[in-house]
């Protein structure tokens, strides 16, 4: 069976309602109103965030999965958006030093070994004074045991409950340390709560309720988001 290299955005379709809301929420809220910037999304998948960024910016998507590179380029061309789609590894970016104004990497570096190497590469291709946003899953979260349960069920019954392949999670201090070791200055650090989810919203609501005390302490939640500066 072929291993998936990229996850999560197969079925997106832009609509006016999404466009009104998406800039006010994680992870795009940090870049609301940006224009005339040179942006790279590392791990761009099928192009969901490329679509929104490309309206008024020069955008490049870096994706390891060859089929998704082709599909994202086709989708965005059909939607009259101009982007550059490039196949490559986040740990060895095929770009020169200080090439981009913004580095955007949401939910990517947890899916492979060498996460800090990927962050250092992002730092390398970012211009001095540029902004970067990285996000990773939180370790002390009620979502983690759910993930483990799904994987166990899949291994015994051949189901497909867990669809994101290999995924690590991090403590806040581990995540902060990787960013600082790579040279970044952390401007803002936030943690999102566990969402409802698309398949089983009631499970998400229950997990969020259980996880709330940990989230309030700054260690629970689903994703940690770090807005950084070079």
Query: Is the pLDDT score of 40 beyond 90?
Result: yes
Distance CA 74, CA 61 (A): 13
Task: Give me the pLDDT at residue 1, please.
Answer: 33
What is the domain extent for residue 38? 16-229
- Here the CATH number for the domain that contains residue 199 is 3.40.50.150
Distance CA 151, CA 84 (A): 35
Residue of 79, 126, 62, 56 whose CA lies nearest to 98:
126
How far, in whole angstroms, is CA 79 from its chain's centroid? 22
7, part of any domain:
no
Task: Give me the pLDDT at residue 21, please.
Answer: 82
Q: In the chain, pLDDT over 90 holds for what percent of residues?
A: 79
Number of domains in the chain: 1
Better pLDDT: 161 or 57: 57
35, part of any domain:
yes
Prediction pTM value? 0.92
Task: Give me the pLDDT at residue 10, please.
Answer: 65
For 159-169, write each residue's pLDDT tens digit. 988 888 889 99
126, part of any domain:
yes
26, part of any domain:
yes
Task: Give me the pLDDT at residue 160, please.
Answer: 86
Residue of 122, 103, 84, 90 whose CA lies nearest to 30:
103
9, part of any domain:
no
115, part of any domain:
yes
Structure tokens at 110: 């947890």
30, part of any domain:
yes
44, 75 Cβ separation under 8 angstroms: no
84, part of any domain:
yes
> Counting runs of H as helices and runs of E as strands, what totals does the chain give?
7, 7
130, 102 Cβ separation under 8 angstroms: yes
87, 71 Cβ separation under 8 angstroms: no
- List Cβ neighbours of 125 (8 Å cut-off, separation of 6 or more): 40, 93, 95, 96, 97, 98, 99, 100, 103
Q: 10 Å Cβ neighbour count for 57?
A: 18
């Amino acid at each position: 069976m072929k291993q998936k290299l990229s996850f999560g955005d197969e079925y997106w379709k832009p609509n006016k309602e999404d466009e009104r809301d998406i800039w006010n929420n994680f992870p795009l809220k940090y870049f609301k109103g940006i224009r005339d910037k040179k942006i790279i999304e590392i791990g761009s998948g099928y192009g969901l965030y490329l679509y929104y960024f490309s309206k008024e910016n020069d955008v490049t998507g870096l994706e390891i999965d060859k089929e998704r590179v082709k599909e994202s380029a086709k989708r965005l061309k059909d939607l009259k958006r101009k982007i550059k789609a490039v196949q490559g590894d986040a740990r060895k970016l095929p770009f020169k030093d200080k090439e981009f104004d913004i580095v955007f990497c949401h939910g990517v570096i947890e899916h492979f070994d060498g996460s800090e190497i990927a962050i250092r590469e992002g730092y390398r291709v970012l211009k001095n004074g540029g902004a970067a946003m990285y996000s990773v899953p939180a370790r002390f979260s009620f979502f983690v045991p759910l993930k483990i349960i799904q994987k166990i069920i899949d291994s015994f019954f051949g189901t497909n409950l867990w669809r994101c392949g290999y995924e690590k999670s991090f403590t806040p201090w581990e995540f902060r340390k990787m960013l600082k070791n790579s040279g970044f200055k952390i401007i803002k650090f936030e943690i999102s709560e566990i969402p409802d989810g698309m398949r089983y919203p009631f499970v998400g609501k229950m997990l969020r309720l259980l996880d709330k005390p940990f989230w309030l302490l700054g260690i629970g939640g689903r994703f940690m988001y770090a807005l950084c500066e070079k």
